[in-house]
């Protein structure tokens, strides 16, 4: 099962993870990552995307993970719109019969989402708005997965 969703509404990570492995006795591991909007000087973050294109790209990233590791399921939920500090942005959950595959696939998916997913982020602060630019550290993390 590969489930990819881009939505404005919040999601329940526990319910998503439960749905990923419910009734499956062959799954030995679920690894997940939930990303949140950081606070500090950030008042809000707005995520923009191109509907249709974004979902296709996320699905392609998930399909790539499924060819690299023996996975029994992938869930990716990514939000868009205006989000406040502490709100959830993204969930990646991966099920496999083995923990190493689940951990590695989850890390791969997040690294590729950070660098390959077509989202544009604008942060609001007391000093004004600014577009978030790509980070060298994110590119370096993704480079380890190059074939």
Nearest Cα neighbor of 133 from 121, 141, 125, 118 is 121
Query: pLDDT digits over 82-136, tens only?
Result: 999 999 999 999 999 999 999 999 999 999 999 889 999 999 998 999 998 878 8
The pTM is what? 0.94
Parse the chain into domains and list their residue ranges.
2-140
Residue ranges with strand state E in 21-142: 29-36, 42-49, 71-79, 81-83, 88-96, 119-125, 128-131
**pLDDT tops 90 at residue 37:** yes
Contacts of 28 (CB under 8 A, 6+ apart): 96, 97, 98, 99
CATH classification code of 2-140: 3.90.1170.40
């Amino acid at each position: 099962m590969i489930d990819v969703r881009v939505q404005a509404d919040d999601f329940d990570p526990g319910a998503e993870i439960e749905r990923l492995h419910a009734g499956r006795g062959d799954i030995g591991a679920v690894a997940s990552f939930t990303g949140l909007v950081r606070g500090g000087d950030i008042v809000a973050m707005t995520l923009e995307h191109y509907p249709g294109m974004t979902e296709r790209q996320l699905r392609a990233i998930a399909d790539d993970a499924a060819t690299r590791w023996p996975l029994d399921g992938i869930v990716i939920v990514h939000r868009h719109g205006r989000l406040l500090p502490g709100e959830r942005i993204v969930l990646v959950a991966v099920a496999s019969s083995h923990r190493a595959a689940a951990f590695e696939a989850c890390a791969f998916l997040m690294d590729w989402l950070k660098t390959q997913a077509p989202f544009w982020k604008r942060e609001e602060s007391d000093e004004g708005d600014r577009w978030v630019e790509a980070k060298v550290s994110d590119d370096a993390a993704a480079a380890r997965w190059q074939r």
